[in-house]
Structure 1
Amino acid sequence: MKKLVLAAALTAAASTAFAGAPADPVIEAPVIVEEANSSSGGIILPLLILIAVAAAVSD
């Protein structure tokens, strides 16, 4: 009889330990920040260099 009570107690303890599935972790998507470049951003620097070279050659 003691073995039956012990088996019932262990079964009850084991069933509560595995009563539910663990919740899936919530993973947030990384935030990607991009700087906005204007279309003329790539042409200004070469134009300034060209003007500086033209000013240096003209002297």
Structure 2
Amino acid sequence: MRLLLASLAVLAGLSAPAVAGGMAEPVMEPETVAEDTAGSGRDGWVIPLLLLVLIITAATADDVPIE
């Protein structure tokens, strides 16, 4: 009988810290959602337009040598 009481006391002493805090809510990390940023269709015309202006400016420039 003493062995039973002693083993129950040891078991109760060892199991108390396991349930001391109770059940905690699991921590759920928020789901990461990547947004696709679609640019407007007008973004691709700026550089070709600048190149065209530079080519036209170079072609129409006066090539008169300085005397």
| Fold shared, TM-score > 0.5 on shorter chain | yes
| Structure 2 unaligned spans of 5+ | 62-67
Partner of 1:40: 42
Percent of paired sites with the same residue: 29
| Deviating more after overlay: 1-10 vs 31-40 | 31-40
TM-score, with structure 1 as normaliser: 0.58
* Off by >2 Å, runs of 4+ in structure 1: 10-16, 18-25, 29-36
Q: Which residues of 2 match residues 21-40 of structure 1 at below 5 A? A: 23-30=25-32, 32=34, 34-40=36-42
| Partners of 1:13 and 1:44 in 2: CA distance | 76
Shift of 1:30: 2.8
The number of equivalent residue pairs is 59
Rg larger in structure: 2
Q: Which structure carries more helix by proportion?
A: 1
Partner of 1:7: 7
TM-score, with structure 2 as normaliser: 0.54
